[in-house]
Chain A
């Protein structure tokens, strides 16, 4: 084990976390892709929630163990071994040596963190925040669509909000998760920085405001269309498509 160096301590850890209910839904696999993506981005920042997720998954394992076994087809194992034979290489122990992602911080490093590394779950959707073609939605608000409405009804997009810009009040038919990638925003529930996850459900109305000196970029995922309220909201609704 490498000695842990105090200088390698984080600048910050997230302050706003998913609820247990949300972690259970994620761990059980009952969240849609967009909402799962938002949770995964938070998890990339948050050791505590990863530990909590491990507990949810252990619960899943225990539930699996407890299920009364279902009878298999007669040649089930033989068929599987057959398929296994057709794969040329058996499990290769070398695969255990996984390559550290280039942006991942070395254990004992004292060098500054790379600029805005995107968590891997997100990089499956966008390679980086640079060079994205941001679509203008309203003064101070731009977006990139990540996931159009998916099979389970959710959607995900990146929003870039200029400092001081308020998003319109909106209510929700279901769950809405916002995770900050850079900058800060604030709403009635608090102030959110990178890795922080805002979880809004039910009848909540909220109005996030970008409150730092630079753009706030966040990922917003929903499992149902948002209902924007107020004039601005009604104007933006057809465009924002959340």
Chain B
């Protein structure tokens, strides 16, 4: 835990200094590293870091809620709720495992489901694997968050229009694949294969394409 944290903080100090460092962790996207570092700082009660996270994420979470059809006031409330939840749960954030945006997304998603449908989103957390050990490489051998962020953006941009469409409908229209097939009036198999191909690109970009 200590090593990746220190690395993130170094990156947060400035892109130039980060680039002067060791090659594997150089060339950080300062924004992603800063956000991760802020999230870690929030866990220790740093309100300035929280204000920066708020400025970055609250308008995006609000945009997410609006896209999903929430009225403006509700979207505003949920954006605030999401960031409040970020404050409360910051100590659970592990910068070695996920980017800040990924983590904030999952919180926003769950609050949205709860608000919209009054339903839960059953989930598992990392200490809940049953009966077996996880034999994946430890987190510090995985791509670090900044490289992940950049490669992910690249993969997103490389989706075909059809793949991008089903991805956006999945995330921003609250539609599962059968409903997407209905909406687009294409066979279910077509939607499934577009999502499969889209995820293959994402997986490849994240360097985990051996599944």
Contacts and interface: CB of A to CB of B under 8 A. Distances in A.
Interface of A: 1, 4, 8-11, 13, 19-25, 28-33, 35-37, 39-41, 43-45, 47-48, 50-52, 54-73, 76-77, 79-81, 83-84, 87, 90-96, 98, 100-101, 104-105, 107, 113, 117, 119-122, 124, 150-152, 174-175, 195, 201-202, 223
A62 B155 CA distance: 10
A47 B136 contact: yes
Interface stretch (B4-12, B15-23, B110-118): B110-118
B28 interface: no
B130 interface: yes
Given A60-B106, A124-B120, A25 B170 contact: yes
B91 A62 contact: no
Specify the main secondary structure of chain A where it touches its partner.
helix
Given A25-B177, A70-B59, A80 B83 contact: yes
B2 interface: no
A175 B199 contact: no
B121 interface: yes
Nearest to A54: B98
Interface residues of B, number: 96
Interface in B83-123: 83-84, 87-92, 97-106, 108-110, 112-113, 117-123
12 contacts: A24-B198, A32-B119, A50-B124, A57-B102, A61-B98, A65-B60, A69-B63, A72-B59, A72-B79, A96-B92, A98-B125, A124-B122
B98 A57 contact: yes
A51 B148 CA distance: 14
B13 interface: no
B147 interface: no
A56 B200 CA distance: 11
B66 interface: yes
A29 B174 contact: yes
A64 B61 contact: yes
Interface of B: 42-45, 47, 50-51, 54-55, 57-64, 66-67, 75-76, 79-80, 83-84, 87-92, 97-106, 108-110, 112-113, 117-125, 127-136, 138, 148-149, 152-153, 156, 167-168, 170-179, 188, 191-192, 195-196, 198-200, 202-203, 206, 208, 211
Contact of B206 (A25, A58, A104): A58
Contact of A47 (B76, B132, B206): B132
Contacts of A201: 177-178, 188
A72 B62 contact: yes
B43 A29 contact: no
5 interchain residue pairs of minimum CB distance: A10-B132, A69-B59, A61-B102, A61-B101, A25-B176
Given A8-B133, A67-B60, A24 B128 contact: no
Contacts of A61: 98-105, 152
Given A55-B203, A69-B63, A76 B80 contact: yes
A101 B128 CA distance: 7
- Of residues A1, A91, A122, which shows the largest number of chain B Cβ atoms within 10 Å of its Cβ? A91
Contacts of A70: 59-60, 62-63, 66, 75
Given A43-B124, A60-B109, A61-B103, A69 B91 contact: no
A95 B168 CA distance: 35
B43 A93 contact: yes
B122 A4 contact: no
Contacts of A96: 43, 91-92
A221 B80 CA distance: 33
A24 B195 contact: yes
A45 B175 contact: no
A47 B73 CA distance: 39
Given A51-B136, A59-B167, A96-B43, A33 B119 contact: yes
Contact of A152 (B60, B67, B119, B138): B119
Contact of A121 (B44, B99, B122, B202): B122
